[in-house]
Structure 1
């Protein structure tokens, strides 16, 4: 695995925690509207980067400076499962804080396995559209404009399965979140919020939902 050359300490991504934000350079299947990371992290891999050994060494030297590690991207779960689990097991062995993974939800089986094996303490998942009310044939342009992909029914089922998985996990460190894309009407965000709240009620979960403002570059 390759990682962005700068590990970033942040106080905003995980409430009440000092977090080390680590960006994977392995890529992403999406090209979301206004993505700040796409050009530098996804489309063009930087010439200078850090390796997993660099990450381990950094955690051993400086792990006392933060109490959580957040692995993001791109899409962190795009890598081979064996590489993902090996990395997380090593991080778990040398770092005593919390491990958070951010994901778009496409890799639902990988997500379930990480939770089942206790390799993550929290998941931050992006629900970018109200998948449950969109038709992959009739609403292709919406998926293309917001997520940069051509959808199919299996993709939608995988995304919704991942949302349920995070809600069921119900860790205090989990989040379901949405970016308030300026190209979408408010009804889209109302549908997402209502869906998440209904699933939370069904699973008796307290996972928070955040509607985050779109950040203009």
Structure 2
């Protein structure tokens, strides 16, 4: 259950075109060694997280200036009671963006957020690189494909995202990714930042040069997928 949530009171970059508050849930079913929010993957809920009641009181007070609320993690759809939170936010008249790894398609279809940012970690044949040991990668990939169909087929506004991490994803992986994502609204590429990582050894991994991201973005655009590179 969601007992407490992290909060960024105001963001101008996390919800496209909107001033938003950002909520963080703890817990994730993936294990990306380069994750820059390691405290949200496993272990206790961070001490500075607030109760859901406090979060909702804050949102009610701030709703005149907020365009929406971003729910991120961790993996927010991991929580069975995520619908309680999204329902309370909708009751305040605020739109909802959810950040997800795509492995909970039924929950995604049930909630139907106003906007979804979904991570594509790497080519589907390499997903074992971002999963806990013993996790059946084939089942996860099947669910991710289902989530893509929901987003692209049902017209839910969305953005696909990949962090371009050496050892996890390379430019040639996009030859396999592109057929899976045709028809997507947009695709955001982010460079790898190695200052803070779940697996400390990944702090030694150097990011790709900028021209690698530019080459991937151009490959996506040539395939008809609008792509941009995150610069902030």
Same fold? TM cut 0.5 = yes
* Equivalent residue, structure 2, for 1:79: 79
Gaps of 5+ in 1: 135-141, 201-205
**In structure 1, which of residues 95, 100, 103 is the aligned counterpart of residue 97 of structure 2?**
100
* Equivalent residue, structure 2, for 1:7: 8
1: distance between equivalents of 2:12 and 2:71? 15
Contact in 2 for aligned 1:180/1:189 (Cα 8 Å) = no
RMSD: 1.9
More helix as a share of residues: 1
Aligned length: 191
**Offset at 1:71?**
0.4
**Offset at 1:57?**
0.1
Contact in 2 for aligned 1:68/1:97 (Cα 8 Å) = yes
Contact in 2 for aligned 1:71/1:100 (Cα 8 Å) = yes
Contact in 2 for aligned 1:178/1:210 (Cα 8 Å) = yes
* Equivalent residue, structure 1, for 2:208: none
Contact in 2 for aligned 1:72/1:102 (Cα 8 Å) = yes
Q: Is the aligned partner of 1:185 residue 2:209?
A: no
**Offset at 1:43?**
2.2
1:108-127 mapped onto 2 (5 Å cutoff): 108-115=105-112, 120-127=113-120
Contact in 2 for aligned 1:3/1:24 (Cα 8 Å) = yes
Q: Is the aligned partner of 1:47 residue 2:25?
A: no
**In structure 1, which of residues 146, 152, 155 is the aligned counterpart of residue 130 of structure 2?**
146
Distance 1:146 1:47, change over 3 A: same
2: distance between equivalents of 1:213 and 1:106? 23
TM-score calculated relative to the size of structure 1: 0.79
Give CA-to-partner distance per residue, 1:51-109, whole Å, 9 cap, x none.
111111011111223211000110101111xx222221111111x23211111111111
Q: Is the aligned partner of 1:216 residue 2:200?
A: no
